C-alpha cells in the first residue's frame, strides 16, 4: 500500500514538473496581462503619469458618442456580413462536397483568399473600387452607370466594399469547416435516405444540416468574435471614413491608444466592453442551439 502511495506521489511530482513551464508561461503571458489590464482600465493620465481615476473611464465611456457610433458600425457589419458569409460558405461546401469536375481546383480557389496578405488584397480592392477602377469602368461600359461611384468616400458604398472584401476573404475559411464536417457524415445515412425516396432538399434539411449544427455554432461564434474585433479591413480600405461611419470599436480603441493623445486606460476599458459583448453573444448562441 505504501509503495503505491509513494509511486503516485512520484508520478505527481513528474507531472507537475512537466507542466510547470507551461503554467509559468500561461501565468506570465495570460493571467498577469489580464490582471494588469484590469488595473489599467481604472487609471487616467494626469501630468504624464497614470493614476487611479475611479469611475472616470466608465463615465467617459457612457458619454462618448463616437464610441457609441462605432458600436453601431460594428454591429452593422456583424448582422449583415456575418450571415451572408456563413450562408455562402454552406452553399459552396454543399456543392463542392459532391463529385463534380475540378472540385479540388474550386475548393483551393475559394480558400486561397484567407491566406493572402492583408495589405495586398486591400490594395487590390482599393484599385478595383477606385473612381477609375475596373468596377466603375465595367458598369459605365455596360451603361449601368452614367457617372462613376465614389465607393470609398460614400458612406453607404464604403460599408458595402468592406463587407464584400470580408466575405471574399473569409468565406473559403468557413467553407472548409463545413466540408470537413460533411465528409464525416456516414454514407450509409444518405444511402438509407435515398432508398426511402428522400430528395436532395429533404436530405439536406433532415440529415446534413442537423449533423452540421455543432460546426455551424463554432463558425457563428468565430464570426461573431471576429466581427466584434474587426480592424484590418476598415483600417486599410477606408481608414474608418467617411465621417467615422466605417470606424469599428477596435479601430477606435487603436486610435485612442496610439493615434490620438495616449489614453491607454480608456482604451483598455473599451476593450473590456468588447470582451463582455463576445462572452454574452457566445452564451446566447450556445443557449439557442442547446434549446433548439
Query: Which range of residues forms the domain containing residue 22?
Result: 1-52
pLDDT for the residue numbered 197? 85
pLDDT for the residue numbered 45? 84
State the cell numbers at 7. Answer: 509511486
pLDDT for the residue numbered 3? 62
CB neighbours (10 Å) of residue 181? 20
**Same domain for 81 and 123?**
yes
* Mode of pairing for the β-strands spanning 43-46 and 49-52: antiparallel
Residues 34 and 271: their CA atoms lie apart, in Å, by: 11
Residue matched to cell numbers 475559411: 173
Length of the chain: 292
Nearest to 78 by CA among 138, 24, 159: 159
**Same domain for 108 and 39?**
no
Residues 233 and 165: their CA atoms lie apart, in Å, by: 7
pLDDT for the residue numbered 7? 64
**Same domain for 46 and 119?**
no
pLDDT for the residue numbered 94? 92
Nearest to 218 by CA among 279, 275, 286: 286
Of 52, 68, 92, which residue constitutes the final position of a domain? 52
Residues 128 and 102: their CA atoms lie apart, in Å, by: 28
**Same domain for 9 and 73?**
no
Q: Could you give the number of structural domains in the chain? A: 2
**Same domain for 68 and 35?**
no
**Same domain for 45 and 64?**
no
**Same domain for 68 and 187?**
yes
Predicted model pTM: 0.85
pLDDT for the residue numbered 9? 66
What is the Cα 289 distance to its own chain's centre?
19
**Same domain for 275 and 166?**
yes
Nearest to 68 by CA among 281, 244, 262: 244
**Same domain for 127 and 42?**
no
Residue-wise burial string across 231-254, b where 16 or more C-beta atoms lie within 10 A, e elsewhere: ebbbbbbbebeeebbbbbbbbbbb
**Same domain for 92 and 4?**
no
**Same domain for 156 and 101?**
yes
Listing DSSP states for 92-150 in one string gives: HHHHHTS--TTHHHHHHHHHGGGGS-HHHHHHHHHHHTSTTSHHHHHHHHTTS-SS---
**Same domain for 233 and 95?**
yes
pLDDT for the residue numbered 187? 86
Q: Which residues of the chain have pLDDT under 50?
A: none
Of 52, 69, 91, which residue constitutes the final position of a domain? 52
Residues 268 and 265: their CA atoms lie apart, in Å, by: 5
Residues 188 and 207: their CA atoms lie apart, in Å, by: 12
What is the Cα 61 distance to its own chain's centre?
24
Task: List the CATH number of the domain containing 168.
Answer: 1.10.3720.10
Amino acid at each position: 500500500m505504501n509503495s503505491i502511495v509513494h509511486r503516485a506521489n512520484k508520478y505527481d511530482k513528474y507531472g507537475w514538473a512537466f507542466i510547470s513551464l507551461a503554467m509559468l508561461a500561461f501565468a506570465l503571458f495570460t493571467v498577469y496581462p489580464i490582471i494588469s489590464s484590469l488595473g489599467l482600465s481604472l487609471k487616467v493620465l494626469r501630468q504624464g503619469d497614470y493614476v487611479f481615476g475611479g469611475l472616470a473611464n466608465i463615465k467617459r465611456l457612457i458619454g462618448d458618442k463616437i464610441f457609441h457610433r462605432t458600436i453601431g458600425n460594428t454591429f452593422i457589419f456583424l448582422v449583415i456580413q456575418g450571415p451572408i458569409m456563413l450562408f455562402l460558405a454552406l452553399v459552396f461546401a454543399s456543392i463542392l462536397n459532391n463529385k463534380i469536375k475540378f472540385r479540388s481546383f474550386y475548393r483551393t480557389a475559394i480558400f486561397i483568399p484567407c491566406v493572402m496578405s492583408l495589405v495586398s488584397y486591400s490594395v487590390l480592392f482599393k484599385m478595383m473600387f477606385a473612381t477609375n477602377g475596373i468596377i466603375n469602368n465595367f458598369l459605365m461600359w455596360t451603361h449601368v452607370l452614367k457617372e462613376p461611384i465614389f465607393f470609398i468616400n460614400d458612406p453607404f458604398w464604403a460599408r458595402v466594399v468592406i463587407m464584400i472584401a470580408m466575405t471574399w476573404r473569409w468565406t473559403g475559411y468557413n467553407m472548409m469547416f463545413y466540408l470537413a464536417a460533411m465528409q464525416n457524415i456516414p454514407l450509409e445515412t444518405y444511402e438509407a435516405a435515398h432508398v426511402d425516396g428522400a430528395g436532395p432538399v429533404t436530405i439536406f434539411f433532415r440529415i446534413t444540416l442537423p449533423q452540421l449544427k455543432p460546426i455551424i455554432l463554432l463558425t457563428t461564434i468565430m464570426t461573431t468574435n471576429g466581427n466584434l474585433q474587426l480592424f484590418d479591413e476598415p483600417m486599410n480600405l477606408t481608414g474608418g471614413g467617411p465621417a467615422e461611419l466605417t470606424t469599428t470599436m477596435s479601430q477606435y480603441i487603436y486610435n485612442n491608444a496610439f493615434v490620438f493623445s495616449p489614453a491607454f486606460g480608456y482604451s483598455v476599458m473599451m476593450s473590456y466592453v468588447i470582451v463582455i459583448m463576445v462572452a454574452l453573444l457566445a452564451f446566447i448562441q450556445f443557449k439557442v442551439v442547446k434549446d433548439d
